[in-house]
Every structure is written in C-alpha cells, then in structure tokens.
A and B are shown apart, each in its own frame.
Chain A
Amino acid sequence: MTAVTAPPAAPTTAARPPEARRRSPLAWAREHLLLAVTVLIFVFMLLPNVIIFWMSFNQPQGKFDYVWHRFSLAAWQNPCANGEMCHSIGLSLRIGVVATIVATVLGTMIAFAMVRYRFKARSGINALLFLPMAAPEVVMGATLAALFFNTIGPGGLGFWTITIAHVMFCVSYVVVTVKSRLAGMDPTLERAAQDLYATPTQTFRYVTLPLVAPGIAAAALLAFALSIDDYIVTVFTAGNLETFPMYIWGSVQRAYPAQIDVIGSLMLIVTMAIIALSQVLGRARSARR
C-alpha cells in the first residue's frame, strides 16, 4: 500500500490555488477567531432556552424552580396544576387574537395608502408611525394610564384597555412589515391584469392580495408575538386582570413552579413546528407548480 501513496508535498503545494498560498497563518487565526467569537455569542443567546427546557424536568426543592434538584415529569404531565396560570394564558391568548386582528387590518390599510397613493402630510404621518416604535414602553404605558385614569377612571381598566394599548403599539410594526412587501412587489403584474380586462376588484382579489398575503401573515405573527409577550404597557392598563407575563412577574415574588418552564419550552416548540410546517407546505406548493 505504501508504495502507491502520493509523492511528497511539493506537487500538492504547487497545485494549490495562488489565493490559498498568499494566506498568512495570522489570517487563518483571525478567521477562526471570528468563528470562535460568533459561536460563543450564539451560546450566550441560546443558553437560556436550553436552561428553560432543562429546568422544566426539575422537581424544585422549594417553591422556586431556579436550582436543579431531581428529574421529574410532573410538570409536563400536569402543566395546569396551577389554575391561575392557565387562566392568565387564556386571557393573554384572547387579547393577542383580538389585538392582532385589529392591528393587522388597520396597519395593512395604512401600508396600502402609503405605498399606492400620493398625498400631503406624508412625512408627518411617517413620524406618527415611527414614534410609537421609538418611545420607551414605560412612557407609553404611563401616558396611556394617565389617559384612562382621567377619562374612565382606574376602575374601568380591563380587557379592552389592554387590547386598545396592544393595538396601539402593534400598528406601526404591521405597517412597516406590509409596506416592505408591497414596495418590493412588481407593479407591472397589476397592470398586466388590467390589460387583460380585470376589474380593479378582480385585480386586487386575484393578483395583489395573493402577492401581499405573506407580508400580511408575517405582520400578523409579529403583532401576535408582541402582544402576547408584553409586560410593561400591559401592567399599566390591566387594572385587576392578570395576563401571562404579569403572572410570571408575580411568580418571582410568590413561587416559581416548573410549569412556567414547561410553557416556555412549549412556546418555542410550537412556534418552530408552525414555521417548519409552513416551510414544508410552501415547498410542496412550489413543487406542484
């Protein structure tokens, strides 16, 4: 076997592309330094999710599921052991759905107007859309609480005030997302439809809407995620109600059951499954074409 092995290194070096020869060892180290730094930062970003999954199988020693004690499936078998928690999740989901629908409709309308029409006051409207994204959340929450205190009084706070607040801070994100999809659309497609004698309604229904739909769907998902995860604005507008983020906040003072980590893991798993499913469906659809 040894007799047939390749001749010594010299020809190999000659065969190397000139680019590789020019590389100094320093450049190699630099490249791998960047890789190492990136890997470390990814560990920093992903570690909490791993810990959440890990701690969801913990049987905490005291009231707080912060330190590993013993393996147990109890939390996964009975995620709603604390009725209060599941009640707050239900409330958060209901607020999220209503706020998402309203914000998506309002935001999509604004996005269409901004991209398709010319009108005055455009820069003023842009500023009004930008400001809610630029204001610190605590300021939005506090000012909105001041408005509700002054008009309906502290007793009137509840489901609708939370939903109103969520729609308010979601609209701008919907506009930005739908707008970028609309702006990237080929305008000739709509003109082609009109050339083929499609009415404006037909053009919208069969050409524009299907093309913008992914943007609207992404905007809706974003709005839902923003709504369901919000704590600061919610706490100022919630009155006596308790949403899921507020429940977690309270748990840090009372008791932090492993069930919260189960929900935290489920949130990740379910969203990833939805994304994977939509990818698979999208691929299947494009394969059929």
Chain B
Amino acid sequence: MTAVVPSPELTEPVEPPPSARKPKRNWTPWVLLAPGLLWLVVFFLVPIFTSVSASVQTGDYDDGFKLTWHWANYSQALTDYGVQYLHSGIYSVLCTVFCLALGYPVAYFIAFKGGKYKSLLMALVIVPSFTSFLIRTIAWKTILADNGPVVQFLNDAHVLKLTSALGWTVGNHVLASPAAVVCGMVYNFLPFTILPLYTSLEKIDPRLHEAGHDLYCSPFTTWRRVTLPLSMPGVIGGTLLTFIPAIGDYINAQLLGNPNTGVVGQKIEDLFLRNTQGYPVGSAISVVMMVGTLVLVMSYIRKAGTEDLI
C-alpha cells in the first residue's frame, strides 16, 4: 500500500505550541515514546547488530552456529554474487529513471491540469494498490503472454528482434527477460514516485507559469527554470522512495524474470530459507547491501542538498 508516503516536510520536527514549552522537566513525552521506540530498538536496531555478528559465524542448523570471526563469509558474499549485485543495481537504477520519466508528466498533469478532478485522479493512482501487489505483478504474465496482443504487436513491428539482440528480451518473448523485470518494477513503484512529486508540484503557484509566460519564456524554459527547480524536493523524495525498495526487490525478478536475472534479494532468501549452512553468508550479504544502500542514499542526499530530509 502506498496511500501515504512520507513527504520530506512531514518528517521535520514540528514546533510545539507555546503552551507545551514549560521549563520544568516533564516525563510525559518519554512515557509516550518509550514503548514504540523500544519496539523499534529491539526489533530493528538490535537485529542489525545481531546480523553483523551472524555474518562472521560458522555452523549449520543441526549443530547450531558459533561466532568464529569467519571473515571469509564476506569475501564469499562479495565475490560469489557479483552478477546479482550488478543486476540489482542496474534494474533499480533503470526502474528509478523510468519511474521519474513516467511519473513526472502524470504528477504535473494532475497538479496543474487536474482542476476539480485532482483528488479523483490521485485516487486512481492509489486505488490499484488495494489489490495484493503479488496478484497484480502476476497479471503481467497475462498481459505479456506470448500470444497476447502486446507481444504480437511488438513481434509484428520487429521490435523484439532489436531488443533481443540487445539482450533485453529473449527470442520473441517478453516474459522471463530483463525487460519484463524492469517493466514489473516500474509498474510496482510508479505510485511511490508520483505521490511525492505531486505533493511538491501541487504547492507551486500556477501564477508563476503566467509570470514566466509574460517574461517571454517558452513553456519549456518556464518548466526548466521555474517548475523543475521548485519541484526538486519531490524529485528527490520520489526517486529515493522508488530506489530504496527497488534495490531490495526480488519479487519482480522471480515472477517475471528467468534464471539469468537473479538479484541479491533472491540469494539472501535462498541462503536463509533453503540452505542449512547459508545463514551467515546470507547475513554478510544483507550487511553489505545495507551499507551499500546507506552509502548510496546518503551521498545522493548530500549531493542533492537536502539533508533535512532525514
């Protein structure tokens, strides 16, 4: 479900009303905070440290795992799964780029041309997610089926010959190919891009467009010099909200891909659930992935210049 996506400004601390600014020490906020924060500490922060420790253990399910400082787990995690890291990286970047390219026009249209249908159109963006995302992803198996109109058309137009030569599709099928994986990912994460984009575009005063027009800007220049800079918070929020789930996603790779489209998530699941000795290496991979994602996201935020996002 994507109904409410944290837009950057909501995570900012809010100035409390003046009545709350009492100088004396007050324990009430801590009583309110404690249970929830404790839950997050025990079941979110502590597991991260547990899995760092697990990543240097050895053993198997029957004899149990022991902390042996087996750093070789990391060399295995880094060397044996290079293809999967590469796939996860490529697919999630492509997905983010496509989502932005498709999401921006939609958000722009709803924000400036939506008129009284604004909320109805935004509802249409969210409504599909009321159905389980797995069922919706599997529906793409029907849409992209070999005898279906989409593949027929692409075949007749000889598009699939080109894409298969480039390695995006396989033979004259679309299913079970990298193209289908990226298509599924874009479909699944598009609302995550549209919602923050819409929030920031909606705040822009449409009179700024008229001002740009009055100052002899072409519509494109108005967009590039006025609208785009003002919508940057939405662009950054939207790309982050798309990229982060996309890099960990393995649903689309599994359901719409083939054995050659393996991503990191699949390997982690395999090692944890279908390999009696794999859990330390699986932990090592998830630590690598967590650190990698964090470094990427942090450098992106720093580069984009909105550190108040966190």
Which residues of A come within 8 Å of B, CB atoms?
A: 27, 30-31, 34-35, 37-38, 41-42, 44-49, 51-52, 55, 66-68, 106-107, 109-110, 112-119, 122-123, 125-140, 142-147, 149-150, 154, 164-165, 167-168, 171-173, 175-177, 179-180, 182-183, 187, 190-191, 218-219, 221-222, 225-226, 228-229, 231-232, 235-236, 244-245, 248-249, 252, 256, 260-261, 263-265, 267-268, 271-272
Contact (Cβ within 8 A) A67 B145: yes
Q: A286 vs B3: C-alpha distance in the bound complex, in angstroms?
A: 24
Report 19 cross-chain contacts, Cβ distance below 8 Å, ordered by A residue.
A41-B102, A48-B137, A49-B128, A66-B138, A107-B36, A113-B33, A117-B32, A130-B6, A136-B293, A139-B289, A140-B47, A146-B279, A154-B61, A168-B40, A172-B40, A175-B36, A176-B11, A236-B272, A248-B138
User: Which residue of B43, B143, B272 has the most chain A CB atoms within 10 A of its CB atom?
Assistant: B43
Task: State A46–B282 Cα separation when bound (angstroms).
Answer: 36
Shortest Cβ distance from residue A162 to the other chain B in the assembled complex, whole angstroms: 12
Given contacts A41-B102, A117-B20, A173-B4, A55 and B139 within 8 Å (CB-CB): yes
Asked whether, in the complex, the Cβ of B36 is within 8 Å of the Cβ of A34, the reply is no
Q: Within the complex, what minimum Cβ distance (angstroms) separates A209 from chain B? A: 15
Q: Give chain B interface residues in 102-152, CB to chain A under 8 Å.
A: 102, 105-106, 108-110, 113, 124-125, 127-143, 145, 147
Interface of B, helix, strand, loop or mixed by DSSP: helix
- Is B50 within 8 A of A150, CB to CB? yes
Please tell me if the beta carbons of B6 and A173 are within 8 angstroms of each other in the complex: yes
* B240 nearest in chain A by CB position: A134
Contact A177 B290 (CB under 8 A): no
Q: CB < 8 Å: which of B11, B43, B132, B136 contacts A168?
A: B43
Which of these, A46, A110, A136, A272, contacts B130 with CB under 8 Å?
Answer: A272
A35 to B300, CA, bound (A): 32
Distance (Å) between the CB of A92 and the closest chain B CB? Answer: 9
Q: Report whether B286 and A143 are in contact in the complex, using a CB–CB cutoff of 8 Å.
A: yes
What is the CA–CA distance of A132 and B265 in the complex, to the nearest angstrom? 17
- The docked-state distance in angstroms from the alpha carbon of A144 to that of B268 is 13
B295 contact set on A, CB distance < 8 A: none
Does residue B259 face the partner (Cβ distance < 8 Å to A)? no
Q: How far is the CA of A179 from the CA of B7 in the complex (A)?
A: 12
Q: B296 CB to closest chain A CB, in angstroms?
A: 11
B32 touches A112 (CB 8 A): yes
* Nearest chain B residue, comparing its CB with the CB of A52: B139
Using A55-B139, A66-B141, A147-B47 as known contacts, say yes or no to A137 and B28 having CB atoms under 8 A apart.
no
Across-interface contacts of B13 in A (CB, < 8 A) = 114, 122-123, 126
Is the CB–CB distance between B244 and A134 below 8 Å? yes
Q: Is the CB of B1 within 8 A of A225?
A: yes
Partner of A218, one of B4, B53, B255, B282: B4
Any A CB within 8 A of the CB of B212 = no
Question: With A45-B187, A143-B286 known to touch, is A176 a contact of B143 (CB < 8 Å)?
Answer: no
B17 with A187: CB separation less than 8 A: yes
Interface residues on B, range: 35 or more
Contact between A256 and B265, CB atoms less than 8 A apart: no
Beta-carbon contact of A248 and B47 below 8 Å:
no
> Is the beta-carbon distance between A222 and B40 smaller than 8 angstroms?
no
- Interface stretch, picked from B68-76, B162-170, B201-209, B245-253, is B245-253
Chain A interface helix/strand/loop/mixed: helix
**Interface hub of B14, B108, B134, B279 (most chain A Cβ within 10 A):** B134
Residues of B261-286 contacting chain A, CB below 8 A: 264-265, 268-269, 272-273, 279, 282-283, 286
Indicate if B19 sits at the interface (CB-CB under 8 A).
Answer: yes
Q: Does the CB pair A136–B43 fall under 8 Å?
A: no
Q: With A45-B187, A113-B32, A126-B13 given, is the CB distance from A66 to B43 under 8 Å?
A: no
Name the residue of chain A whose CB is nearest to the CB of B18. A187
In contact, B132 and A229 (Cβ under 8 angstroms): yes
Q: Are A144 and B14 in contact (CB under 8 A)?
A: no
On whether the beta carbons of B290 and A136 are closer than 8 Å, the reply is yes
Interfacial chain B residues near A183, Cβ < 8 Å: 10, 14
Knowing A45-B128, A110-B33, A146-B50 are in contact, say whether A137-B248 is a contact too (CB < 8 A): yes
Q: How far is the CB of A127 from chain B (nearest CB, A)?
A: 6
The 5 A-B pairs with the shortest beta carbon distances in the complex, nearest first, are A136-B248, A225-B1, A117-B29, A106-B36, A143-B47
Determine whether the beta carbon of A48 is less than 8 Å from that of B3.
no
A176 touches B6 (CB 8 A): yes
Whether a CB of chain A sits under 8 angstroms from the CB of B182 is no
Given the contacts A48-B143, A136-B248, A117 and B16 also touching, CB distance less than 8 Å = yes
Distance in angstroms between the alpha carbons of A228 and B134 in the assembled complex: 12
Question: Which residues of A are found within 8 Å of B282, using beta-carbon distances?
Answer: 142
CB distance from A58 to the nearest CB of B (A): 9
Expressed in whole angstroms, the Cα–Cα distance for A107 and B125 within the complex equals 26
